[in-house]
Amino acid sequence: MKKIKIVACIVAVIAAIHACKKKSEGPVYNPTAAKVEVPTYVKAYLGEMQHPADNPLTAEGVELGRKLFYEKMLSNDNSISCASCHKQEFGFDDPAPFSKGTNGTLGGRNAMAIINLGYNTGFFWDGRRNTLEGQAHDPVTNPVEMANTWPEVTKRLQNSSEYRLLFFKAFGITVIDSNHVVKAIAQFERTMISFDSRFDRYYYMGDSSALNSKEKSGLAIFTGKGMCNDCHRMNTLFTDNEFRNNGLDVDPKDAGLMQFTGLATDRGKFKVPTLRNIFETAPYMHDSRFKTLEQVVSYYSSGVQQTSPNIDEHMPPFGAGLALTTQEQADLVAFLKALSDPAFLTNTAFSEPK
């Protein structure tokens, strides 16, 4: 009897040593530092992309973020992911005027493109978030979007051995929490850069044949008579990262920036969106009022409401508007279409992981 006990004890000790050994041979936390590679002309304007000190970019973090971006488990009924409203072929925007959440109701604003946001400082049409990490918290619990709760999301992810491994490799954590979910998503979003349009080839890379004559004259209107670059700045981003009122309404239904700041002086101001891949990201404006670029350009030409509250000082200050000729409007539209970047719209590094 005693002998058996001793043998059992020895077996147990060996098993324990073995288990211990096995553990040390398991996955290791040793993430690979990564960098967002951009053309030199982008660096000349913007410098290096800034990453939060507590969320440096790593290959493992980006891979996890990409998987989470396409993860339907984030929504209450497992039916939608971030990518359901931010579709790659549409510049990570939604072609629907208003996106449908899991409960079938529509949100009140047009979804926004996810392009070069690593250089942005204010998020949502009304700027209510100032980091990509902060932004990514919101869709999960928004009742008209994913309508879920964070405890439920982290429970589901924790139950997946694949996610447990990916979170360990990316962040060295064994207990998954919301902060690390949004960190991974933000890392992936910072890699979603688009600087390879025909405009870039013409303007920054010196390929004079990359734009045709219509597009070149459209560019001249964009920077000249049209004054578009006062706000959609030619700093490679086509936005100045500000919130401005471009004069859509005399009595704006959506308060825009004021909704966040509470200041009457912010009423009617909205994020100046990038114009990259603008042809793909229709419909246009925060409320999707315009279906085509022709309508947008016609609006700037003759539809601006000069009595809109807090109208921006950059809005063409001559009464009826810019009064662009039909030809000028067509050229400006042609130029805007040359801001599309087919490689971005099909880059498999941003597509749903297999």
Nearest to 66 by CA among 50, 51, 98, 88: 88
- Build a one-symbol-per-residue string for 9-48: x at contacts with ligand HEC by CB under 6 A, - elsewhere: ----------------------------------------
- Nearest distance in Å: CB 267, ligand HEC: 12
- Using the rule CB under 6 A, give the single segment among 40-48, 168-176, 198-206, 311-319 that binds ligand HEC: 311-319
- Nearest distance in Å: CB 127, ligand HEC: 8
Distance CA 168, CA 209 (A): 49
Distance CA 218, CA 212 (A): 10
Is 273 a binding residue for ligand HEC by CB under 6 A? The answer is yes
Nearest to 82 by CA among 163, 184, 176, 2: 184
- Using the rule CB under 6 A, give the single segment among 4-12, 45-53, 104-112, 202-210 that binds ligand HEC: 104-112
Nearer to ligand HEC by Cβ, of 292 and 346: the residue is 292
- Nearest distance in Å: CB 145, ligand HEC: 4
Q: Rounded to 5 degrees, what angle do the CA atoms 67, 70, 73 make?
A: 95
Nearest to 153 by CA among 188, 181, 186, 183: 181
Nearest to 82 by CA among 236, 186, 3: 186
**Amino acid at residue number 233:** R
Nearer to ligand HEC by Cβ, of 58 and 99: the residue is 99
Is 278 a binding residue for ligand HEC by CB under 6 A? The answer is yes
SS3 106: strand
- Nearest distance in Å: CB 18, ligand HEC: 42
- Nearest distance in Å: CB 51, ligand HEC: 16
Annotated catalytic residue within 63, 71, 133, 145: 145
- Build a one-symbol-per-residue string for 41-70: x at contacts with ligand HEC by CB under 6 A, - elsewhere: ------------------------------
Distance CA 169, CA 172 (A): 6
Nearer to ligand HEC by Cβ, of 176 and 185: the residue is 185
145 is annotated as an active-site residue: yes
Q: Which of 55, 99, 194, 236 binds ligand HEC (CB under 6 A)?
A: 99
Is 277 a binding residue for ligand HEC by CB under 6 A? The answer is no
SS3 39: coil
Nearest to 64 by CA among 31, 96, 106, 22: 31
Is 231 a binding residue for ligand HEC by CB under 6 A? The answer is yes
- Using the rule CB under 6 A, give the single segment among 33-41, 167-175, 280-288, 345-353 that binds ligand HEC: 280-288
- 53 exposure class (CB count in 10 Å sphere: 0-12, 13-18, 19+): exposed
Nearer to ligand HEC by Cβ, of 56 and 224: the residue is 224
SS (H, E, C) 113-148: CCCCHHHCCCECCCCCECCHHHHHHHHHHCCCCCCC
**Phi, psi for residue 210 in degrees, rounded to 5:** -70, -25
Q: What is the DSSP letter of 240?
A: -
- 4 exposure class (CB count in 10 Å sphere: 0-12, 13-18, 19+): exposed
Is 73 a binding residue for ligand HEC by CB under 6 A? The answer is no
- Just list the catalytic residues: 145
Q: Which residues form the interface with ligand HEC (CB under 6 A)? A: 74, 80, 82, 84-86, 99, 101, 107, 109, 111-112, 114, 117, 123-126, 135-136, 139-140, 145-146, 185, 226-228, 230-232, 244, 246, 248, 270-273, 275, 278, 281, 284-286, 296-297, 300, 312, 314-315, 332
